Amino acid sequence: MSNPTAAMLVIGDEILSGRTRDANMHHLAQEFTKHGIDLREVRIVSDDRAAIVSALNALRAAHDTVVTSGGIGPTHDDITADCVAEAFGVTIDVRDDARALLQAHYDRQGSELNEARLRMARIPEGASLIDNPVSIAPGFSLENVHVMAGVPSVFQAMVASVLPTLTGGAPLLSQTLRIERGEGDIAGPLGKLADRYPTLSIGSYPYQKNGVFGSNVVVRGADGAEVDRAITELASLFS
Amino acid sequence: MSNPTAAMLVIGDEILSGRTRDANMHHLAQEFTKHGIDLREVRIVSDDRAAIVSALNALRAAHDTVVTSGGIGPTHDDITADCVAEAFGVTIDVRDDARALLQAHYDRQGSELNEARLRMARIPEGASLIDNPVSIAPGFSLENVHVMAGVPSVFQAMVASVLPTLTGGAPLLSQTLRIERGEGDIAGPLGKLADRYPTLSIGSYPYQKNGVFGSNVVVRGADGAEVDRAITELASLFS
């Protein structure tokens, strides 16, 4: 596949401790798939400076696009922006355009732009802001890294802001056939089918429901007619 | 914290494409937290040999324990066992004890132990088997790497088999206080509180509900009395 590749870095103690389930990864995966961007890797790390910097540098070197989620709020454990600056070796400071956005927002609310909130205007040198229509405090993009909030409604709004600026590829088409047999019964013919369609990705995702084992076989590819042919052949093999 | 550290490697095209949500990570995170094992990192990679081998080697070098999920079934896209063998530089072949488990199982079922199913008896040299009471085909442990199935019911059974063999630490105690104010209002005092309790981990997890912003503040630590004191102080700050 020659589609652009992407990775996601989730900064989230709360996910690693089992307190919450991540929702942003699933959203981004679906949006990227629709847009023809191939999400190849996700890493979830804790709120640890060295871990974040090292993951960021590995992912931005290996992929066309990196999206981060989490750690850009006003509290002491929000260290993502500083980590991005460190990873790129650039300075970070309060920036006038980001401060102006926050000032206008808190003026409207009758709240104070205090020291903590002002931290959300700290933007690494050379970055451009990502619009946040939900809660104003912006994300930012630096080269191929897009830094977004962890709150799902804000994350989704930021993805919607950035997605049109990314180069997409041919959207992968996919069809799924649910086969109510154990994978061991279908594996042989399925492997031969995969050999006959080298341009398609054919995956088998087993499930167990009420004690019965079965598999969802997913056929993916850029050529819809080819996907159709493979699914038809698959259905005839196991009908 | 001196608790043992762990990482998880999820092998899953279906998660990266947005087709399914991962459920195993959340389960493992909760089990490890209860057991006093500090889950530090999760990586999700696609069914790609180089990506799996490279992630495995990075994670097993950096953490006390690594758990993998997915890719050990009978189909052509199940390549995890081969990747583990490659990562460790050991051979892999059908092993008698694993074959015997499968043979007995399929005999009972009146199914055939065909070539595809026999792939599930391929075990890297030097590994020990992980019991699978749900669907028999075993996982395996090699040094600090524990290789488990992706089907959630099987994954959970394998975690239950392996967990008692792992060295746990002091279970982290945690208490959560829900504060119905924007993070910007609480960030200053919260940061000072975190400074006063250096042995505790104090995290702020913002939410937005019905247009109202608030935060769940989570205080974690091994000393229950200390966690109590910090939560009481926190409550008095924002009541």
The answer to whether B76 contacts A220, with C-beta atoms less than 8 Å apart, is no
Neighbouring C-beta atoms of residue B93, cutoff 10 Å: 10
Edge-to-edge strand order for the sheet containing B201-209?
A: B173-179, B212-221, B201-209
Cβ contacts of A208 on chain B, cutoff 8 Å:
134-135, 151, 153-154
Cβ contacts of A211 on chain B, cutoff 8 Å:
none
CA distance B205 to chain A (A): 8
Dihedral angle over CA of B112, B115, B120, B121, nearest 10? 90
Is residue B145 classed as helix, strand or coil in its secondary structure? strand
| Greatest mean pLDDT range, A71-75, A208-212, B65-69, B201-205 | B65-69
Q: Which residue of B has its CA nearest to A70?
A: B205
Cβ contacts of A72 on chain B, cutoff 8 Å:
none
Q: At a CB cut-off of 8 Å and minimum separation 6, what does B62 contact?
A: B5, B7, B41
Is residue B19 classed as helix, strand or coil in its secondary structure? coil
Residue A1 has pLDDT above 80, yes or no: no
Mean pLDDT of A3-32: 93
Q: Which residue of A has its CA nearest to B29?
A: A18
The confidence score (pLDDT) of residue B173 equals 86
CA distance A91 to chain B (A): 23
Of A58-67, A119-128, B64-73, B107-116, the poorest mean pLDDT is in B107-116
Residue B68 has pLDDT above 70, yes or no: yes
CATH 3.30.70.600 residue spans of chain A: 173-237
Residue A139's H or E segment, with its range, is strand A139-142
The verdict on B201 touching A (C-beta cutoff 8 Å) is yes
The verdict on B134 touching A (C-beta cutoff 8 Å) is yes
The confidence score (pLDDT) of residue B182 equals 85
Q: For the segment A173-224, what is each residue's pLDDT rounded down to a tens digit? A: 889 999 999 888 999 999 999 999 999 989 888 888 887 888 999 999 889 9
CATH 3.40.980.10 residue spans of chain A: 5-165
The mean predicted confidence, pLDDT, of chain B is 93
Q: Which residue among B22, B73, B176 places its CB closest to the CB of A183?
A: B73
Strands of A143-239, DSSP E: 145-148, 173-179, 201-209, 212-221
Grade residue B169 by pLDDT with cuts at 50, 70 and 90: confident
The confidence score (pLDDT) of residue B239 equals 77
Grade residue A161 by pLDDT with cuts at 50, 70 and 90: very high
Cβ contacts of B150 on chain A, cutoff 8 Å:
206
Look at the pTM and tell me if it is higher than 0.95.
Answer: no
Q: At a CB cut-off of 8 Å and minimum separation 6, what does A91 contact?
A: A85, A124, A125
Q: What angle do CA B183, A23, B146 make, to 5 degrees?
A: 115
The answer to whether A203 contacts B77, with C-beta atoms less than 8 Å apart, is yes
Radius of gyration of chain B from Cα atoms? 22
Grade residue B209 by pLDDT with cuts at 50, 70 and 90: confident
The answer to whether A182 contacts B32, with C-beta atoms less than 8 Å apart, is no
Cβ contacts of B208 on chain A, cutoff 8 Å:
134-135, 151, 153-154
The confidence score (pLDDT) of residue B213 equals 82
The answer to whether A187 contacts B75, with C-beta atoms less than 8 Å apart, is yes
Looking at domain B5-165, which of 3.40.50.740, 3.40.980.10, 3.30.930.10, 3.40.190.10 is its CATH number? 3.40.980.10
Mean pLDDT of B200-208: 88
Mean pLDDT of B181-209: 90
**ipTM for the assembly:** 0.91
Q: Which residue of B has its CA nearest to A77?
A: B203
The mean predicted confidence, pLDDT, of chain A is 93
The confidence score (pLDDT) of residue A2 equals 75
Mean pLDDT of B53-68: 98
The verdict on B99 touching A (C-beta cutoff 8 Å) is no
CA distance B180 to chain A (A): 15
Residue B1 has pLDDT above 70, yes or no: no
Grade residue A31 by pLDDT with cuts at 50, 70 and 90: very high
The verdict on B136 touching A (C-beta cutoff 8 Å) is no
What is the distance between the alpha carbons of residues B235 and B177, in angstroms, rounded to a whole number? 7
Mean pLDDT of B223-233: 94
CA distance A239 to chain B (A): 19
Interface test with A, best of B49, B57, B77 (most A CBs within 10 A): B77
Cβ contacts of A188 on chain B, cutoff 8 Å:
114-116
Q: At a CB cut-off of 8 Å and minimum separation 6, what does B131 contact?
A: B138, B157, B158, B161
Q: Pick from A63, A118, A134, A122: which is nearest to A95 by CA?
A: A122
Grade residue A12 by pLDDT with cuts at 50, 70 and 90: confident
Of A24-33, B34-43, B152-161, B210-219, the poorest mean pLDDT is in B210-219
CATH of domain B173-237: 3.30.70.600
Mean pLDDT of A220-229: 92
Mean pLDDT of B39-53: 96
What is the distance between the alpha carbons of residues B131 and A158, in angstroms, rounded to a whole number? 44
